[in-house]
Amino acid sequence: MNQDQSSGRKFALLIAVSDCGAGFKPLHCPKNGVAELRELLINPKIGGFGPDQVTCLVNPNVSEMRSHVSAVFSNCSAQDLVLFYYTGHGVTDEFGNFFFTTSETCKFVNGALNRGTAVEAGFVLNEMGTCYSRRQVAILDSCFSGAFPDGMMAMDDQTVDVARQLGGEGRAVLTAATSTQYALEQEGEALSVYTRYLVEGLKTGAAVSEQDTVIRVGALHRYVQTKLKTAAAAMSPQIYAARDGQDIIIANAVIDNELRYRQLVQKYLRDDGRMSPTSRRIFGQRAKEWRITAELAQHIEAEVTQPYRERQANLKEFQDAYQEAIEFENPLTEHTIKELRDYQRMLNLRDEDIPEIANVLKQPAVTMSATVAAPPIAQLEQKTGPGGIPLQEVTLDQPTLRVDDEGNIIEQHQVQVTQFVEDLGGVPLVMVEIPGGEFWMGQTEDERQMLLAEVGQETYDKYFGRELPRHQVKVPCFFMGMFPVTQAQYEAVIGSNPSHFKGSDRPVENVSWNEAKTFCDRLSERTGRRYFLPTEAEWEYACRANMTTPFYFGNTLSTEIANYDGNYTYGNGTKGKYRKETTPAGQFPPNAFGLYDMHGNVWEWCADHYRETYDGVPTDGSPYLTNDDSAFRMLRGGSWLSDPWYCRSANRGRGNPVSRSNYCGFRVVVSSAWTPG
């Protein structure tokens, strides 16, 4: 460190603005923060400031604030320390310039800042720049856009360049947050959340670095930052320091056994706020050595763990609010979603803290049964999917089914899935996690015998022999569309709807393989996640959902649970409806992986080139590809036009990559099994 901090005077200007003019919500914390900080600064064991060297302003007007700012930065020598602390509303004008509010600050009728009623950051910067002191510290505990219209005390979504507007050599600037999205005050608290930990770090000495006996600006910032990561993760406190700024001494730390015990607890505390049995034994031994009473030890431990308890309480509070909201109305209306978002900010919760709920709040109302209902939350898990997108644990409204050999329902099971939702400009695309695993791909011997009896050897060889030989395939985990791509989704990405059977929630059809691939490419560009058509192995593995029967429902199919030509049967099944058209995605029950319409409705394009048999195909879940771009591509699942034989999990169809039909569609995957060249 280049500065000699052993001599020199100390000056502080502490400003609290709690009451402004029209357009600003009154605050109650600022004056408390100034009072607490003053007591610490004039304490000879901590701050060492003279009482007459600490100036406090509460709700000054423009003239008073400007006058005192000029005064505190004037007549200083190089060795003097100048501390500027401001707490209250902060605002930016339409050009992004930052202003400190005063008791006179107001907004015009159109919502724009009346700049003549506030103090611009540039004025403070100029005063700091003309000050001789090489030890200047500015601490800004403010929101940068004032209150929300409904009175919620928070920041908007702009970002203030504090380093540019209050930077410079020999200075340190600490801010509660640069991004303007977070709550300044919390109901029932005397201090703002930022100032609370600022005061705590100074008062207890806990902000002191190891092997040091004084509290430096950088160490104080790190202490507050660590506390806020737990208690109010949505805040992002920053420090901007030039030259020796972080080494400026702001207070003394009374190194006693109480502080040593506090540091010990902080050292061994787990990331989730828990104390292990071993750490508790360590605490007990040290408490005896340092003569820390049981009551004092308990008090210190409670203070250290308070941010963790506060965060858990906020998470629980928001969970309860969300649960009440979906019990009140489901799906959630735009008004309720806004209320929940406001409450989330008041509790200083990030979307990453509540991934399941946050993803629901981002989505518009939808019509498909599996996505309309906001999922009830039993437990929040910090789990993310491809590209860091939050994942949701959802129990589907429709159960999966098992049928007997005649097609009668004999079992029903609830399906829980892990999913993420892409927002395609107001149209949701639900992607379901398919767990990795190994399975037998292809036709079983029972199916072969059944097909030979039904269609004869010649037809079997022509259409069904391609499903052999049965072989084992290992498929990595991937994400697959819960539904075939709908017309609304296709139009949201491509801008047109080629389908013959119109309906926004029906599968898109009349798309070629090449057009399906174009959809994947554009979706990848749009989202930053790599979308593909599924490989044949991925498709069959996902369709079977750990079943070895011809259909994921059992040994036969009925038109009550799938859309196909009901004039024909499979096995001992009975005839049913022939709808002669597609049906809305998600109308029939899902399989155990939470996928809908894998049997019937529309054939689905896959990535693979056609091969007559499975001889020589990959066994790692990747596609079979040749150098012939015009080669036939694989189709899976059958359609509304198909006999049930062609809707089996093992059945393989094929098509020209440029051909279209009103019975061919597709679904997409985010896959780790392969990466196309």
Rg from Cα positions in the chain: 33
What is residue 95's DSSP assignment? T
- In CATH terms, the superfamily for domain 400-670 is paralog of FGE (formylglycine-generating enzyme) (3.90.1580.10)
Q: If DSSP states are collapsed to H, E and C, what string results for 601-668? A: CCEEEEEEECCCCCCCCCCCCCCCCCCCCCCCEEEECCCCCCCHHHHCCCCCEEECCCCCCCCEECCC
Chunked into runs of 10 residues, the chain (677 residues) has average pLDDT values of: 61 94 84 95 93 96 96 89 91 76 88 89 85 88 43 32 43 68 62 89 84 86 82 71 77 76 80 81 83 83 79 82 82 79 77 68 43 40 76 89 91 92 92 95 94 88 93 96 97 95 96 96 92 97 97 95 95 94 95 97 97 94 90 96 96 94 96 52
pTM for this prediction: 0.48
What is residue 113's DSSP assignment? B
The confidence score (pLDDT) of residue 24 equals: 81
In whole angstroms, what is the distance from residue 374 CA to residue 361 CA?
9
In whole angstroms, what is the distance from residue 223 CA to residue 225 CA?
5
Looking up tokens 């020209």 gives 656
Cβ atoms of residues 253 and 215 within 8 Å: yes
Q: Summarize pLDDT for 72-128 with one digit per residue, the tens.
A: 999 888 889 999 999 988 887 766 677 899 999 998 877 788 999 999 988 988 888
The confidence score (pLDDT) of residue 150 equals: 23
Q: Summarize pLDDT for 228-237 with one digit per residue, the tens.
A: 777 676 677 7
The confidence score (pLDDT) of residue 167 equals: 38
In whole angstroms, what is the distance from residue 532 CA to residue 141 CA?
48
Tokens representing 4? 């000699």
Q: Beta strands of 370-427 (E only): which ranges?
A: 392-395, 400-403, 409-413, 416-423
Residue type, 257: N
Cβ atoms of residues 644 and 557 within 8 Å: yes
In CATH, the architecture of 10-255 is 3-Layer(aba) Sandwich (3.40)
Q: Check if 10-255 and 400-670 are the same fold.
A: no
Annotated domain spans of the chain? 10-255, 400-670
Element (H or E) spanning 225, and its range?
A: helix 217-231
- Give 658's contacts (C-beta < 8 A, 6+ positions apart): 512, 513, 514
